[in-house]
Amino acid sequence: MSIVNKVCVLGGGSFGTAIANIAAANSAEVMVWMRSEKQCEAIASTRFNERYLPGYQLRENLIPTTNLEKACLNADIVFVAIPSKAFRVVTSEAIQFIPKSAPLISLTKGIEHGSFKLMSQILQEIGPGRDVGVLSGPNLAKEIAQNQLTATVIASYNPILRKTIQQILDTKLFSVYGNPDTFGVELAGALKNIYAIVSGMAVALGMGENTRAMIITRSLAEMSRFAQRMGANPLTFIGLAGVGDLIVTCSSKLSRNYKVGYEIGKGHSLKQAIKLTGETAEGINTLKMVKEKADEVGVVMPIVNALFETLYLGGKAEDIASKLMKVAHAEDVEYMLGG
């Protein structure tokens, strides 16, 4: 790729804003598109996105706009940080304004309802022939805003694109690692949201550290087993996008999915829990789709089954951990090198 002079970020949520601000430190101009005129005006006048990242000062060369054409015009690269429900709609509208040479990078961790397509697959459909990538990892936006040391993964089959993203985003506080397994990295980012809900429930229910360690570890085994069946490299799941993202999402009160699970563990209904958290929890939608797909392809996923039963079939939250104890004993590590 040539030198990147203009970056476009579609979506003014917490992670989109954090990535835009990092890119602004290394790029000439960063345009951030958002729907809300009120939010756009507030950012332009105060240089803060108080709704999503309060107290995080934004650089002067980060320019908010509600004009989709203006945001995309002449962009050298486009990051898409739109929730999965609206991802296809927004990108389908934006693609007419994006230069054909501009790669498309997904920041969204989710699966499309009905098609079971990941966001990068949607981008490939909408922009055929373009370079596509995925940015994923243990990246809580509020910690990025607090200047906490953070690492992420750029996944793309194109090594030049991986290198370009590293140049755009790498700073002293934000390290970018490469991985060619786009599908595996993206699937890991979507799946871990399910298990963060379970982890939040476990904490609210007062379960011990042993129990929580069991849940997280068996979650990783379950994720990688499903991913391999779907065509991903299971070794991707021992990296930042897999175990790294799983640990932080299952352990932090900043995680939206964790917070939803915590409220459910406290006795609130799913609807009440979503309202209390006030943000999109991708794991809720992902759960239904993964349960259906796992049944279809014959992958055993005890945690997914137990959570689905709790949220949609009247099961008790406190029974999830005990149900794991009833699973037929299998091998601890399923992918032993040389085994």
Give the structural domain span for 219.
190-324
- Chain segment 256-312, per-residue pLDDT in tens: 999 999 999 999 988 899 889 876 678 998 999 999 999 999 999 999 999 999 999
pLDDT of the residue at 339: 43
Residue 80 lies in a domain: yes
pLDDT band at 154 (very low <50, low <70, confident <90, very high): very high
pLDDT value at position 316? 84
31 and 175 assigned to the same domain: yes
In this structure, the answer to whether residues 124 and 35 fall within a common structural domain is: yes
Query: Which of 180, 212, 232 delimits the end of a domain?
Result: 180
224 plus 133 within the same structural domain = no
Considering the domain architecture, whether residues 172 and 197 belong to the same structural domain is answered as no
Residues facing 155 on adjacent strands: 134, 179
Instruction: Say whether both 155 and 236 belong to one domain.
Output: no
Report if residue 23 sits inside a domain: yes
Is the pTM higher than 0.85? The answer reads yes
- b/e string for 163-187 if b means 16 or more Cβ within 10 A? ebbeebbbeeebbbbebebbbbbbb
Please check the confidence at residue 328 and state whether its pLDDT lies above 90: no
- Side-by-side strand order, sheet with 77-80: 62-65, 29-33, 6-10, 77-80, 104-106, 132-136, 150-155, 174-179
pLDDT at 337: 47
Percent of the chain predicted with pLDDT > 70: 95
For residue 335, pLDDT over 70 is answered with no
Q: Regarding beta strands 132-136 and 150-155, do their DSSP bridges make them parallel or antiparallel, or are they unpaired?
A: antiparallel
Mean pLDDT (whole number) for 1-14? 88
Pairing of strands 62-65, 77-80: unpaired
My answer on whether 73 and 106 are in the same domain is yes
The answer, yes or no, to whether residue 336 has pLDDT greater than 70, is no
| Kind and range of the H or E run holding 182 | helix 182-204
- What is the predicted pLDDT for the residue at 28? 75
> Residue 196: pLDDT above 80?
yes
In this prediction, residues 181-205 reach a mean pLDDT of 95
CA proximity to 273, closest of 52, 223, 283? 283
Beta bridge partners of residue 177, listed in sequence order: 153
Model pLDDT, residue 323: 75
Please say whether the beta carbons of 249 and 258 come within 8 A.
yes
265 within some domain: yes
At residue 121, does pLDDT exceed 70?
A: yes
Distance between CA atoms of residues 189 and 179, nearest Å: 14
- Is the torsion defined by CA of 299, 303, 304, 309 positive or negative? positive
Q: Are 135 and 32 within one domain?
A: yes
Shared domain for 32 and 74, answered yes or no, is: yes
Predicted confidence (pLDDT) at residue 195 exceeds the cutoff of 60: yes
pLDDT reading at 329 higher than 80: no
Tell which phi-psi region holds residue 114, choosing left (phi > 0), alpha (psi between -120 and 50) or beta. Answer: left
Which DSSP letter does residue 254 get?
T
CATH of the domain at 296: 1.10.1040.10
Assess whether 159 and 231 both reside in one domain.
no
- Catalytically active residues are 192
CATH code of 146's domain? 3.40.50.720
Crossing angle between the packed helical segments 182-204 and 302-312, to the nearest 10 degrees: 60
Q: Are residues 164 and 202 in the same domain?
A: no
Angle between helix 84-94 and helix 119-126 axes, rounded to 10 deg: 20
Name the domain boundary from 161, 180, 199.
180
Residue 38 has pLDDT above 80, yes or no: yes
Give the model's pLDDT for residue 338.
Answer: 44
- Report DSSP state, residue 234: G
Q: Which amino acid is at 221?
A: A
Residue 185 lies in a domain: no
- For residues 208 and 154, state if they share a domain: no
Check whether 17 has a pLDDT greater than 90.
Answer: yes
The number of C-alpha atoms within 13 Å of 99 and in the hemisphere containing its C-beta is: 14
In 3D space, the residue among 319, 202, 322 whose CA is nearest the CA of residue 258 turns out to be 202
Number of domains the chain contains: 2
What is the structure's pLDDT at 115? 94
Which residues make beta-bridge pairs with 153?
Answer: 136, 177
Residue 39 scores a pLDDT above 60: yes
Distance CA(8)–CA(1), nearest Å, equals: 16
Residue 20, pLDDT > 60, answer yes
